[in-house]
A and B are shown apart, each in its own frame.
Chain A
Amino acid sequence: MRRLINRKPDGVARLALMLLPFLLVLLAYMAASEARLAVNPNDKLLPGWASISAAVERMAFLPDSRTGNYLMLNDTLASLTRLGMGVVIATAIGGVFGILQGLIPYFRAIFNSFTNVLSMIPPLSVLPILFIMFGLGEPAKVLLIVVGITPFIIRDLALRTSEIPHEEIIKAQTLGASTWQIILRVVVPQMLPRLIDAVRLSLGAAWLFLIAAEAIASNAGLGYRIFLMRRYLAMDVILPYVAWITLLAFALDLALRLFQRAAFRWMYRGTGN
């Protein structure tokens, strides 16, 4: 009998094993839903497939009777716009500050403790301040995402930058590079893929802040809809929305990963992965 650590599933088995937990959750839900509906056909807590698919059709494929909009599309666009703006701004600030903090001792001396302290502020506690200062409109929601994930990106990138071997920085200087030229040709190109990793890791937090901001003050958005539907116990809408948000988050992560592989081939060449 070989040790467990030496036994590996082959292709088909791996696919089946991967799908297994998803299937189990689905089956458990269906059984529980049927059991509750058998007792009370009007139960709202665990809706059956019929009411879920009717809700999806109503939200996604039929125009809203009051506004004429496709609500799910509207919500998705509103949320992705906020998320995108927040993440892009945070990435830009995080990239610049992270690289400068990791590379330039004077810059680090000024900003290192400051960003460390900033990163300890719970972002949601800043949300009321943002609402007071910027009103209930879009800027406050975008800013919450920025406030929430920028310190992490700065710290992660500063760490990655300081991990560039000292030899490389010395070598660049013996080739006549100025500080600016080192940043431009040695540090930035090596840090861009790391920046993508940092963004991927902070996307989960970005979604959290987005949904929190939308839940409190909004009139469109995935988070807004979920919290609105809670008032009517409309699980048949909330469940597919949660699944849809999960799918969006997964797709975004996958897209970033594929982009990284395609754009930074030097990281993956010759290393066997």
Chain B
Amino acid sequence: MTQVTVEKLWKVYGDQTVLENISFDVAPRSFVALVGPSGCGKSTFLRMMLGDEAPSRGRILVDGVPLEAEPSPDRGVVFQKYSVFPHLTALQNVMLGLEFAGSPFAARLFGRARREARNCALDMLKCVGLEQAVRKYPSELSGGMQQRLAIAQALVKKPKILLLDEPFGALDPGIRAEVHEILLSLWREEGMTVFMVTHDLSEAFKLATRVIAFDRRRTRPEELKAYGATVTFDIKVDGKAVPPAMSVPAPALAAQ
């Protein structure tokens, strides 16, 4: 159960205000799409969720606790590019998160722990339909497969929040629909809260339970620096039930 609260959040670079006074609450198990024109600060907001950047004012609370100021395993992420490690095979990419947790010094697992991590990673790869590609390097995978791999890699850590920064922007429409289905079913199974930045409105309304639009209210040239973007629309998408509590066990849990 992950409740996210954004309180009076501002982001200012020098004398340029990017985001001003963003406040909203997100119910557990929501799928939030963040939309808005280029340069409106939606990616900046995501980087603050991630802990990669600090807010200038205000704060973000997760379950009532202010966010750590650096990335941590409770917030998984998939970027548009460079989300997977090019020097590791698909299987090694997914196992990596488990190896970090299980082996602080060597960052590698051996023996039984390694077999368990391997099985867990293989289950995760099966969930995203990459069971045929476990030994391939990312450069041998198509764009859609790379993004599915990035999702598997993030979800193997069981994050409370999954952050997606235009994850499907570079994919063909057919491939995109395919990855949408995989993402939706994983979200229903795992029950994490998802934040997705996208510039594609139809994608936002197709996937999300809530669509939040960022935009500037003041757009006269002399006002562009002093005033940032804020929430202009906050739309609940009807007919999308928030998934019921853990009706289906998560694949990795089931495997253990």
- Answer yes or no: do A and B interact: yes
Q: Does B99 contact A (CB under 8 A)?
A: yes
Complex: A172 Cα to B71 Cα, angstroms: 9
**Cβ contact within 8 Å between B104 and A181:** yes
Q: Does B199 contact A (CB under 8 A)?
A: no
Contacts of B75 in A (CB 8 A): 174
Complex: A172 Cα to B100 Cα, angstroms: 9
Smallest CB separation, A101 vs chain B (Å): 21
Contacts of B72 in A (CB 8 A): 173-174, 176
Please report which residues of chain B, range 13-57, place their CB below 8 angstroms from some CB of chain A when the two chains form the complex.
Answer: 50, 52
Q: Does A180 contact B (CB under 8 A)?
A: yes
Smallest Cβ-Cβ distance to B70: which chain A residue: A173
**Cβ contact within 8 Å between A171 and B139:** no
Complex: A270 Cα to B108 Cα, angstroms: 26
Complex: A266 Cα to B52 Cα, angstroms: 28
Contacts of B249 in A (CB 8 A): none
Q: How large is the interface on A (under 10, 10 to 19, 20 to 34, 35 or more residues)?
A: 20 to 34
**Cβ contact within 8 Å between A170 and B52:** yes
Contacts of A173 in B (CB 8 A): 70-72
Please report which residues of chain B, range 85-129, place their CB below 8 angstroms from some CB of chain A when the two chains form the complex.
Answer: 85-88, 96-97, 99-101, 104-108
**Cβ contact within 8 Å between B107 and A266:** no
Please report which residues of chain A, range 159-207, place their CB below 8 angstroms from some CB of chain B when the two chains form the complex.
Answer: 165, 167-168, 170-178, 180-181, 184-186, 189-190
Q: Does B205 contact A (CB under 8 A)?
A: no
Complex: A171 Cα to B150 Cα, angstroms: 9
How many residue pairs, one in A and one in B, have C-beta atoms under 8 Å apart? 92
Q: Does B191 contact A (CB under 8 A)?
A: no
Q: Does B140 contact A (CB under 8 A)?
A: yes
The DSSP consensus for interface residues of chain A is helix
Contacts of B137 in A (CB 8 A): 265-266, 269-270
Contacts of B157 in A (CB 8 A): 174-176
Q: Given that A170-B50, A269-B137 are known contacts, is A165 also in contact with B81, CB under 8 Å in the complex?
A: yes
Contacts of A176 in B (CB 8 A): 72-73, 97, 100-101, 157
**Cβ contact within 8 Å between B71 and A167:** no
Contacts of A267 in B (CB 8 A): 86-87
**Cβ contact within 8 Å between B82 and A266:** no
**Cβ contact within 8 Å between B100 and A181:** yes
**Cβ contact within 8 Å between A174 and B82:** no
Complex: A176 Cα to B100 Cα, angstroms: 6
Q: Given that A167-B81, A180-B105 are known contacts, is A175 also in contact with B87, CB under 8 Å in the complex?
A: no
List B residues at the A interface (Cβ < 8 Å). Answer: 50, 52, 70-73, 75-77, 79, 81-88, 96-97, 99-101, 104-108, 136-137, 139-141, 150, 153-154, 157, 159
Nearest first, the 8 A-B pairs at minimum CB distance are A270-B140, A175-B97, A165-B82, A173-B71, A176-B73, A167-B82, A270-B139, A181-B107
List A residues at the B interface (Cβ < 8 Å). Answer: 165, 167-168, 170-178, 180-181, 184-186, 189-190, 264-267, 269-271
List 4 extra interface pairs beyond A171-B83, A265-B137, CB under 8 A: A168-B85, A171-B85, A172-B85, A178-B100
Q: Mind listing 12 A-B residue pairs with CB under 8 Å?
A: A165-B82, A172-B100, A173-B70, A173-B71, A174-B71, A174-B76, A174-B157, A176-B72, A181-B104, A185-B107, A267-B87, A269-B140
